[in-house]
Amino acid sequence: MVFEVIEVMGTYGFTPNTFARNITIDALFKIGCGDLAIKFLKETRRPNFLTFNIALCNLCKLNDLCHIGDVLRMMLRQGYHPKVETFEMIMSCFCKMGNTAEAHQVLGLLITLGITVSVNVWSMLMNGFCRLQRPDMAGKLLEKMVETGSSPSIVTYTTLIRGFLKSNMVSEAFNILNIMESKGYAPDLVLCNVLIDSFAKAGRCDDAIDVFVSMQSRNLAPDSCTVSSLLSTICLSRRFHLLPKLVRGLDVEADLLLYGLCKARRVDEAVDVYHGILLSFPGQDAYIHTVVMDGLTKVGKFNAAIRVFRKAVAEGFTLDVVAYTVAIIGLFMGGRAGEAWSLFRQMKEVGLAPTAHTYNVMVSGFVKERDLNMVNLMLQEMIEAKVELGSNTFLRLSKFLCRPYHSDSVIELWIQMRSLGLISSKVVQELLFDVVTESGKVDDGLIAFLDVSSITDLSVETSGSEDVYDVAASIG
């Protein structure tokens, strides 16, 4: 509509003024015509401050570094200076895209123009140089900052300390830390976390532990990042005996830590932490074993998960049905169906009754193995236990049984489960319709199971499906 108005103005002999052209430039950027917007700007005879500011703001959003420099030079030649906020936006864009040298030039321009540079801008630029592993340049910026009368904040000092530590310039980092403390700043939680994490990664475990202990005297409450870095330190040093002393009085959720390490694929650390927890807190319940097994299984470390389970059993830890189910999942996913069946029987022998999820995992696992005899056996057990067949398991089973080598006896068990209310009618129709849609036909046995007269009676819409085994293997 903006462009239509501009066009109509021309037909009536009106030339769009600067205000109208500013609106047009902004509109061109918003519809993704950046090059045309720049051309329109250059053809504007009397651009004003807003003309350039609109262009710069849009170019920063687009991270268009080339045109940012061009427009900034045009603006300065016309005698206009961006606002401090616009300068900060430009510098942030340069730093984010790794063009720290250009950001440094913009800083020089700010100082030359006599514009007061905020602490955030100084810190932003220092962080940019640190990310380029040039903490020496960041250190020079700190000196320049002080010369211009600006006072560094604890964020500024933290940025520099982190940069020096990542570049293994430990003495320089401590020098900055001493300067900071001489100015009356005490390390806050963020800085302590930076120090602990950096020392842990550098193998300086004693220093990391000292920082953690010093937090108590500063009344700083450790957060999850602190505890995670501390655990990494203990794992690296293999000093698990320190764990009870260091975390005494803290609200440490061991299961969350283990889950986080597994999800980050830091599997070796997760297993080390798991063993450390068992040594330090021998009274842990079955859930701690389940968490580490589940985490290992989800990242494909099936054999490692089973080793954890076997070791827990051998050492006499009490395991619940969930732990056994997760171990069974790991065995199936590792292609060890025979061991999964043995473990299922062992679970019942020790007095643990399988849950509905356990039964469904067993059926899904044997369907994956195309073992009709075991599928038949598991369905019989589910009927005796009056356990409902899950919708995901049903979908996988229905696709399996629609193949030429399906078993009539399994379908009969299926029908029996339906009559006992162990499979809901809605689930049957919705999920089996998906199979019918794919194959275009269904045999008489399945029609009888559906309790409908023909395929045309299946009036439900096709439902989406997932890989059933993956769904069955997910816990929680």
| Domain range annotation of the chain | 1-82, 388-476
Residue pLDDT tens, the chain, 476 long: 777 777 777 777 777 788 888 888 888 888 888 888 888 888 888 889 988 889 888 888 888 878 888 888 888 888 888 887 888 888 888 777 777 777 777 777 777 777 777 788 888 888 888 887 888 888 888 888 888 888 888 888 888 898 888 888 888 888 888 889 888 888 888 888 888 888 877 778 888 888 888 887 888 887 767 777 777 777 677 776 666 566 555 545 556 576 666 766 777 777 777 777 776 665 556 677 888 888 888 878 888 888 888 888 888 888 889 889 999 998 998 889 999 999 999 999 999 999 999 999 999 999 888 888 898 899 889 888 888 878 788 777 777 766 555 556 666 776 777 777 777 666 566 555 554 555 555 555 455 544 543 333 433 333 333 332 343 343 33
How deeply is 170 buried, as exposed, middle or buried, from its count of CB atoms within 10 A (0-12, 13-18, 19+)?
middle
Q: Contacts for 118-121 with beta carbons within 8 Å, 24 or more apart?
A: 118/84, 118/88, 119/150, 119/151, 119/152, 119/153, 119/155, 119/156, 120/88, 121/87, 121/88, 121/91
pTM of the model: 0.48
* pLDDT for 359: 92
Q: Give the CA dihedral 63, 65, 66, 70, nearest 10 degrees.
A: 110
DSSP string, 105-167: HHHHHHHHTTPPPPHHHHHHHHHHHHHTT-HHHHHHHHHHHHHTTPPP-HHHHHHHHHHHHHT
* pLDDT for 425: 64
* pLDDT for 459: 36
Ramachandran sector of residue 168 (left: φ over 0; alpha: ψ -120 to 50; beta: rest) = left
* pLDDT for 339: 92
Q: Among the residues of 334-424, which ranges form H helices? A: 337-349, 356-368, 372-385, 391-401, 408-419
Distance (Å, rounded) from C-alpha 225 to C-alpha 209? Answer: 14
* pLDDT for 338: 92
DSSP string, 421-432: TSS-HHHHHHHH
Residues 6+ apart with CB under 8 A from 129: 100, 135, 137, 138, 141, 163
